Structures are given as C-alpha cells and as structure tokens.
Chain A
C-alpha cells in the first residue's frame, strides 16, 4: 500500500452525519435511487421492444440478422472488461493506491472510447445500408418493411440512449481521474469513485440486455 497523507477528517465529515460510514452510505443510497429511476427511463423502451417483438416475431428475427453480430459481440466484451477495470479502480481507491487508481480509470475511459468508436462505425454502416428509419429506409422484404423499420427505430433509439449514457460516464470518469491525480481520494474518503463505478456498471448492465435483443434473437 502506498503512503497517503491522513486527511483532516473533520473537513470531510459533513455536520449532518454521525460518522463517515453513515455519510458514505447516504451517498450510495442516493445513487441507487437515481439508478432505479434510470431503470424506469430505459424500462419504457424495453417494454416497447417486448410488445413489438410479440406482435412481429418473425420480422424482428430477420431484422436482427442485419445488425453487425461480431461488432456487437466484441463491443460486449470491451464493455465487460471496462467494468472489471472500473471495479479495480474502486478497489485501488479503497486501499489508497493513487497511481493504480489513475491507471485503472484511464484504462476504463479508453475502453469506453473503443466501444463508442465501434458503435459509431456500426451506425455509419447501417446508415449506408439505408437501415436508418425515415424516408431513406429500404428493406429487401417488402411485407416486413414496416416491422423492420420499427426494429431499427428501437435499435437506434435504445443504443443511442445507451451511447449518450456512455459519453456521460466517460465525462464523469475524466473528472474522477483529475481528482485522483490531485490526491482527493484516500482510504478515508473515496465515495465519488464508488458512485462513478456504480453508474459505469449500470450502463454496462443495460448493454448486457441490449446485446441479445438486437444481435442474437435472429440467430446466425
């Protein structure tokens, strides 16, 4: 364990809390409540997908064969590994290992950027293939075109919303990295790193469900 300066605890502990543990848990619970509202936010779209998949099961299957299977699989792996590094960053913040914390945070940011880059390449590919819903939408099977367009509307809306959350997460991690470099965190106080981790893992969990919905249901 690296040496760290023992901070003046009275400055870290806000007066409305009895002790550091209560202060930490209050922040954590607040983050969980926020994540529960995020579940509801995404939940409406998951419900829409479930309903339309129920109404047009065959069209959704064939439409899902138009998404980039291997790109999606690689992106899932990238995101899962980024979550490992985020968890390692939280551990490093608990033991006060500042150098490891910065290294893990930067790795997590890098993997997040790789994910967004691959996703952008996928989007460009789909738009080129006229799969973006709207006037330019083209689909080879005319009788399934309407339902396929619904599928791709949900695809762009849900992965797009997920990507916006990824961008937000990356901004959050950049702020945490700067704070970590300045030595703001120690074994006594590292709640922001933990909360950032909760958010990053949550975004990962959303993708874990988006992946089978858009890439796997049609088989290969």
Chain B
C-alpha cells in the first residue's frame, strides 16, 4: 500500500482512499442478509428434517459468520497477512474439534486378553448398565473406566471365565 517510505509522502495523501473498505450500501445489504438467514434458520427449526436440522442450522451459522468476518470485519478488503491470521484461527479450531471427534466417533468395544477375565467396555454400548450415566442420572465420563469395571458384575461376569474372542 505504501511503496514510498519517504516520511513526507507517508504522512500526506488521502487517508480515506488509502484504506479500501466496505461501502455503506454493502454494509446494509450484509445486515439484511444476516437477518434473512436468521429468519430462515428460525423457520427451519419448526420443520422436522431429522439429522438435516442440525446440518442446516450449522451451515446457516457458518454462512452468517462468513458474512460478518468478510464484510463487517473487512477481511474481504484486508491484506493477505490478515487472511492468514483469520485462517489460522479457523484451521486450528477445525483440527481441535475434528481430531477430538475422530476419536469419540470411532470408539469400539475393547476386549482385553487374560489375565483379566472380564470384558472391559470403553464405549456406550451397554444399554442397561446401572453405572451408565444415562441411566443413573449421575455425571461421569461415558466411556471411562472405573474399578467397578474390573470387579465381577452380573451373571456373566464370573471370575476366571475365559474371554470369548481372544487371539491367545
């Protein structure tokens, strides 16, 4: 933007023209678009579309966020360096959420070989387990292990019973 670093030049010039920015018309249109998207997402909440409700709500939120960041925060008119800063925040957020969900969404029942005779569950698949926080009303890690998991529990949990499908 300022190729000539001569002090006198740097201090002069038309300051308004030096910064490209959104015109008032653009700002009003973006605000109208934001309110229209809000009306749309509120309306869609009354229609049952199954899993698409969540998907649509998140997509509309992402569109609103993009409008705010690009036009109100003027990233659209900013330097490449600003794009990198804004993009870095988004990228690391997606890594944080994506990486964690990739773990949670792929957890399966874990069968341990002997000497431990029991089946340890590290998932939420046991429906009637009273230790499951969904059934007891207690807060707790859904896939967490506790000493109670090792101790015998229920009719099938007799000590010494061989593990059903073990490689050994």
A-to-B contact residues, CB < 8 Å: 9-10, 13, 18-22, 24-25, 28-29, 32-33, 35-36, 39-40, 43-44, 46-47, 50-51, 54-56, 59, 69, 73, 76-77, 80-81, 83-84, 86-88, 90-91, 94-95, 142-147, 149-150, 186-188, 197-198, 201-202, 204-205, 208-209, 211-212, 215-217, 219-220
Contacts and interface: CB of A to CB of B under 8 A. Distances in A.
B57 A47 contact: no
Closest 6 CB pairs of A and B: A19-B10, A36-B89, A212-B57, A32-B85, A84-B31, A9-B11
Nearest to A84: B31
Contacts of B81: 25, 29
Contacts, number: 187
Q: Could you tell me the dominant secondary structure of chain B's interface residues?
A: helix
A19 B28 CA distance: 32
Contact of A39 (B24, B48, B73, B89): B89
B137 A51 contact: no
B91 to A, nearest CB: 10
B76 interface: no
Nearest to B83: A32
Interface in B47-105: 47-48, 53-54, 57-58, 60-61, 64-65, 68-69, 71-74, 78-79, 81-82, 85-86, 88-90, 92-93, 96-97, 100-101, 104-105
A20 B4 CA distance: 12
A39 B133 CA distance: 31
A56 B134 contact: yes
Interface stretch (B13-21, B113-121, B146-154): B13-21
A220 B89 contact: no
Given A19-B5, A80-B31, A54 B101 contact: yes
Contact of A40 (B27, B85, B93): B93
A36 B139 CA distance: 32
Contacts of A208: 61, 64-65, 68
Contacts of A50: 97, 100-101
29 contacts: A19-B10, A21-B10, A36-B88, A39-B90, A43-B96, A43-B97, A46-B97, A47-B97, A51-B101, A55-B142, A55-B143, A73-B38, A80-B38, A83-B68, A84-B28, A84-B72, A87-B22, A91-B27, A143-B134, A146-B138, A197-B73, A201-B73, A202-B73, A205-B65, A216-B45, A216-B53, A219-B46, A219-B47, A219-B53
B112 interface: no
Nearest to A23: B10
B33 to A, nearest CB: 10
Interface extent on B, as a size class?
35 or more
B1 interface: yes
Nearest to A95: B16
A28 B78 contact: yes
B85 A21 contact: no
B3 to A, nearest CB: 10
B27 A21 contact: no
B104 A201 contact: no
A18 to B, nearest CB: 4
A201 B72 contact: yes
A215 B44 CA distance: 12
A84 B27 contact: yes
A15 B65 CA distance: 37
Contacts of B163: none
